[in-house]
Structure 1
Amino acid sequence: MIGNRNEYESMYQVERKLWWYRILHTKAIRQIQTHFPATQSIRILDAGCGTGGMLDALRQAGYTDLRGFDASEDAVSFAQERKIAVEQHDLRDIAAFHPGEMYDVIICDDVLYFFSDEQIRHILGVFRQRLRPGGIFISNNNAFSALRGTHDIALAISRRFVKAEMADFARHTGFALNRNVYWNFLLTIPIWFVRKVQLFVWRLNPAQPVHSDVKLPPPWLNALFWRVLRLEERFFQAPPFGSSVFTVMR
């Protein structure tokens, strides 16, 4: 996705409104509030922050000590329009990002698919070293190869994950696994169907351009999806599958 300014612009335009982002931001903020209930002055890093939607949601929730970086110049330029402290940096060289600076929370959402197992273990190992005592690492990642579609092609998503892989990464890097769950369970089958259709149509003409699913649906549908996911959070604490896997490590 790096270098695809149009996709970053789409992300920037919808992050505050799209049902998927709103649910993800709520999940992350809820975990932070659970682990740090008494203060909003904790230091938070969003590693691979994209256009800054998560940092913006954290700021709106009252958090003030926020920092982020992304490898994409386009993503950083959009994030900086939100007046957030974001800079350009490559996650593969995370150890060189403000050496010695420690954090209470590190977030890394939907970025790990760029990397091999070895690279992920290295990145998580550095994250663990950069967390203060009691700190947490939060990561959301796309799940299940069966859900691959033209969305993946447009965003250069090279892999998808299952819970067991995230648990294995935690174990190999010395983290304690605090939460590791699938979500978007109730919409997974429709997503699977739509993406299979998208792939079928694309394969009829592979030369046609592909675009991600990051777009705002009609307001009624956006609101419906939001309500469905809120219902899921209430009644399905540990769904058997989902389009994403949400992980918290200590």
Structure 2
Amino acid sequence: MEKGEYVTMAAVERQHWWYVGMRTLSAVWLDQVFADRHDLQILDAGCGTGGDALFLRRYGTVIGLDYAAEAAAFVGERLPGRFARGSVLDLPFAEHSFDLVTSYDVLYHTGVPDEAPALREVRRVLRPEGHLLLRLPAYEWLRSRHDRQVHTRRRYVASEVRQMLAKAGFVVERLSYVLSLLFPLPATTRWLERFQSDHGEASAMELPGTMLNTILYLPMAFEANWLKMGGTFPYGLSILCLARVKPALPKTMLPRMVK
């Protein structure tokens, strides 16, 4: 991610409709699994400037991890003593340390050349039956100026996310595209970018005016209610997935070698 994006993120992520909306969507599924739980050990892997880690404190104790030095100053201030600098490819934690790992828009990054080692590390630090909440950007054809700013390696479709989690030893409990009701707006904007010259390095995540910010959030609140009722969306700007560690087979159920 470009250094300037960290400054922008820290300034707007508590109020910006996109960040607030994504936290609202995450809370729906987390509340369904962890209702009335406040004792979880949680890792926010790729925590950025720490806004989501602050939100996750409602469920327990949170450690934020990020590789970027630019993130350390922000998270250190927001979560004193609860930040670790490191890579999702080599998590600096013991096995079975966490009940929940969240990873919001991290595995798509150029700094993660392959998702499989990162997911193996997440599985290693999760406790048996522990959960992973994963968010990733959707559709390669939606690449934009913002992807260049945040160093996007790839974008995904839902079937790819489901397959890579299964290979890594997870059971997918819920999976849906999100940011779906507003999808025509970013889709059109990104298509038009192809015919426009690059207008410099202005961040795509600048905070809009109060009224527009509220208007843009409302469709995401509606999406959250739909997810709460068990619904899903067939397309969207992002993919949200809740998975748990696949339980190991009892030794008595393992196939015997034929002599």
**Aligned-pair distance for 1:18?**
0.8
Code of the residue aligned with 2:204 in structure 1: it is D
Q: What does residue 233 of structure 2 align with?
A: 239
- Among the aligned pairs, what percent are the same residue? 29
Determine which of 38, 54, 57 is the counterpart of 2:55: 57
Structure 1 position 12 matched with structure 2 position 10:
yes
Given that 1:52 and 1:78 are in contact with CA atoms closer than 8 Å, whether structure 2 keeps it comes out as yes
Given that 1:43 and 1:66 are in contact with CA atoms closer than 8 Å, whether structure 2 keeps it comes out as yes
Could you say what the CA RMSD is over the residues aligned between the two structures, in angstroms?
A: 2.0
Separation (CA, whole Å) in 2 of partners of 1:218 and 1:142: 25
Structure 1 position 149 matched with structure 2 position 147:
no
Code of the residue aligned with 1:242 in structure 2: it is G
Q: What does residue 200 of structure 1 align with?
A: 195
Q: What does residue 88 of structure 2 align with?
A: 91
Given that 1:175 and 1:249 are in contact with CA atoms closer than 8 Å, whether structure 2 keeps it comes out as yes
State the TM-score, normalized to the length of structure 2.
Answer: 0.86
Q: What does residue 81 of structure 1 align with?
A: 77
Q: What does residue 242 of structure 2 align with?
A: 248
Structure-2 change in CA distance of 1:239 and 1:64 (3 Å): closer
Which structure features the higher share of helix residues? Answer: 1
Mark the runs of 5 or more structure 1 residues left unpaired by the alignment.
none
Mark the runs of 5 or more structure 2 residues left unpaired by the alignment.
245-259
Determine which of 27, 31, 35 is the counterpart of 1:29: 27
Structure 1 position 114 matched with structure 2 position 109:
yes
Cα deviation, 1:76-105, whole Å, max 9, x if unaligned, reads 2112221341121122222xx123351000
Separation (CA, whole Å) in 2 of partners of 1:18 and 1:115: 25
Separation (CA, whole Å) in 1 of partners of 2:18 and 2:126: 28
Given that 1:106 and 1:136 are in contact with CA atoms closer than 8 Å, whether structure 2 keeps it comes out as yes
Structure-2 change in CA distance of 1:115 and 1:166 (3 Å): farther
Structure 1 position 103 matched with structure 2 position 98:
yes
Structure 1 position 70 matched with structure 2 position 66:
yes
Q: What does residue 254 of structure 2 align with?
A: none
Separation (CA, whole Å) in 1 of partners of 2:157 and 2:243: 16
Code of the residue aligned with 2:121 in structure 1: it is V
Given that 1:41 and 1:64 are in contact with CA atoms closer than 8 Å, whether structure 2 keeps it comes out as yes
Structure 1 position 130 matched with structure 2 position 128:
no
Cα deviation, 1:108-165, whole Å, max 9, x if unaligned, reads 1101112599721121122112211221000111101121111111111121011011
Structure-2 change in CA distance of 1:199 and 1:82 (3 Å): farther
Given that 2:96 and 2:127 are in contact with CA atoms closer than 8 Å, whether structure 1 keeps it comes out as no
Separation (CA, whole Å) in 2 of partners of 1:35 and 1:54: 18
**Aligned-pair distance for 1:63?**
3.5
Separation (CA, whole Å) in 2 of partners of 1:107 and 1:148: 24
- Structure possessing the higher radius of gyration over alpha carbons: 2
Q: What does residue 45 of structure 2 align with?
A: 47
Cα deviation, 1:183-220, whole Å, max 9, x if unaligned, reads 11111111011122234223xxx5x5334421111111
User: What SS does structure 1 have at the residue aligned with 2:93?
Assistant: coil
Given that 2:96 and 2:126 are in contact with CA atoms closer than 8 Å, whether structure 1 keeps it comes out as no
Structure-2 change in CA distance of 1:154 and 1:117 (3 Å): closer
Number of aligned residue pairs:
240
